[in-house]
């Protein structure tokens, strides 16, 4: 496995309680605080960014995408039933 050299630095200020919590979480996962914070921040960044990324489609795929959006919805009887029938929590209980 290739080792990547970390050459960039990120400074941040935090409260003593926040630092204690991060240190405790790092210990619980057997990581350094730096590794724990970096991995946690990167995971959150990966959750945040996908819907903000730009992606392009060629003309043919764009037309197919628009066609799919404009198509009438296909019948889904099970979903219709789920949304219209009372749930098990709404039905009268048998006593």
Q: Residue 4 and residue 82: Cα distance in Å, rounded? A: 51
Tell me the two tokens of residue 23: 């240190």
Domain ranges of the chain: 14-50
Q: What is the pLDDT of residue 56?
A: 84
CB atoms within 10 A of CB 21: 12
Q: What is the pLDDT of residue 59?
A: 95
CA distances from 93 to 83, 87, 89 (A): 20, 12, 9
Q: Residue 40 and residue 46: Cα distance in Å, rounded? A: 10
pLDDT tens, N- to C-terminus, the chain (95 residues): 678 898 999 999 999 999 999 999 999 999 999 999 999 999 999 999 887 777 788 999 999 999 999 999 999 999 999 999 988 888 765 55
């Amino acid at each position: 496995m290739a080792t990547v050299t970390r050459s960039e630095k990120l400074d941040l200020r935090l409260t003593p309680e926040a630092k204690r919590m991060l240190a405790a979480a790092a210990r619980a996962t057997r990581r350094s605080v730096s590794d724990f914070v970096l991995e946690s921040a990167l995971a959150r960044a990966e959750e945040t960014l996908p819907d903000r990324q730009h992606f392009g489609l060629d003309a043919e795929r764009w037309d197919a995408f628009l066609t799919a959006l404009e198509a009438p919805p296909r019948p889904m009887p099970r979903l219709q039933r789920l949304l219209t029938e009372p749930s098990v929590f709404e039905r009268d209980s048998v006593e």
